A and B are shown apart, each in its own frame.
Chain A
């Protein structure tokens, strides 16, 4: 089945130790998104790619970076994780990013920062 895959499902890192979360998709969708969801809060968009065009949200900390080497893969790099970066990170895709394009989500990576 076509899907969005996130690895790992659970990630534990140490304060200040760089960490990379990965997302892959078999849907061949143009748009890929990264969301951060902290406990009991709304998922918050960090950035998205339309093909290779990178769109960063204004309030996304510089500590968060992303790479999309090809259509299928997208990575979220956290350069120096702080305790406040502990959250669920969701990757999603959509065909065109239009208002009626539903988003297809991965199961998320839960990040713990010690």
Chain B
């Protein structure tokens, strides 16, 4: 994998459903993986910054795992709520001090 790839591109779930999506990235020379949430008409906000293989982070109903050896991270949302509707972006930190973003997963939660 040369780029950061996210799947699916979009996701529609019902309120109360749990959901997850994937970020895949090059596993060599790994430094850190960032997750951001971007609600419409607002600023992207950091959710997690992860560095260690096997790391798991949690913020409320949202959690993320990291596998640096195989180059993927999962984001989980338990009991989705309409306010979780947003685009979720992951980004791999590259040597040179920059983030390489995926194209995002657009989540829509219907009441």
Contacts and interface: CB of A to CB of B under 8 A. Distances in A.
Contacts of A81: none
A48 B46 CA distance: 19
A45 B99 contact: yes
Interface residues of B, number: 25
B28 interface: no
B97 A97 contact: yes
Interface centre among A43, A44, A105, A108, by most chain B C-beta atoms within 10 angstroms, is A43
Contact of A100 (B49, B100, B103): B49
Interface in A91-106: 92, 97-106
A42 B43 contact: no
A107 B39 CA distance: 10
A4 interface: yes
B46 A103 contact: yes
Contacts of A57: 98
Interface residues of A, dominant DSSP: loop
B43 A106 contact: yes
A42 B103 CA distance: 4
Interface of B: 3-4, 9, 31-32, 34, 36, 41-46, 49, 51, 89, 93, 97-104
Interface of A: 3-4, 31, 33, 35, 40-45, 48, 50, 55, 57, 90, 92, 97-108
Give the 7 A-B residue pairs with the shortest CB-CB distance, closest first.
A102-B46, A99-B32, A99-B31, A42-B101, A105-B44, A99-B93, A42-B103
